[in-house]
Copies of this chain bind each other. A is one copy, B any other.
Amino acid sequence: MQHAKPLPALLAQRYHGWKATTHAENAAWYRRLATEGQRPKAMVISCCDSRVHVTSIFGADTGEFFIHRNIANLVPPYEPDGAQHGTSAAVEFAVTALKVAHLIIVGHSRCGGVQGCLDMCAGRAPELEEKTSFVGRWMDLLRPGYERMVARDLPAADQPRALEQEAVLVSLENLMTFPFVRSAVEARTLSLHGLWTEIGEGGLEYYDAEENRFLPV
């Protein structure tokens, strides 16, 4: 791999600072996590967006959350066709091997992927409709959520948030199509949770199944 470069000096410098402080303070714990293996309590699926840090929001310790991050925190439906499904692999590993107790989907405001989906479905982003657009094809997963949102006939200003929250619900629904998720949920060894965070004001809402809407935590 002739194209790889060394780590930028600033990051190397910060790393050495971390090793001399945070790692040094917790070295015994890190060693135990290394030798005894991880035992995370929860899997979190959140967006790649640089403004969403679930370990910070929840004060999570090293070893506490198994985290998958992809564009728009989407989970595809169960499709065991022998092709590569990175998200499904992560869910399978968390639920069947690590046996996490909670699986939490975290959506967020100002999501670029969701905005792309909105534009694409409204016919405003033809480049995303092309077969070669990875983002476009990935956001196809959210089309059922878009249909539901359209049916609510919302003002344009409310649509991004509504679709961001639909992304959480589509993922929760798709999760239930995985046999090992469904059986764990039914056996009460796994619980599913849907969250949506507003990144500017630091708001946090959860999906309330009884009221069928998102409410502040």
Contact = CB atoms under 8 A, between A and B. Distances in A.
Band of interface residues on A: 35 or more
A134 B28 CA distance: 24
Given A17-B59, A191-B25, A209 B50 contact: no
Indicate the member of A15, A63, A207 with the most B CB atoms within 10 Å: A15
Interface string A1-44: 11111111111111111111111111111111111111111010
A53 interface: yes
Contacts of A55: 53, 55-56
B140 A94 contact: no
A83 interface: yes
Contacts of A81: 131
Contacts of A63: 50-51
Given A30-B202, A31-B201, A93-B135, A86 B70 contact: yes
B25 A51 contact: no
Nearest to A205: B7
Contact of A66 (B33, B50, B67): B50
Interface of A: 1-41, 43, 48-51, 53, 55-59, 61-71, 74, 76, 80-94, 97, 99, 101-102, 104, 109-110, 112-113, 131-135, 137-141, 169, 172-173, 176, 185, 188-195, 198-202, 204, 206-209, 217
A-B pairs, top 8 by smallest CB distance, nearest first, are A17-B17, A34-B200, A20-B20, A28-B101, A23-B202, A89-B138, A29-B101, A40-B50
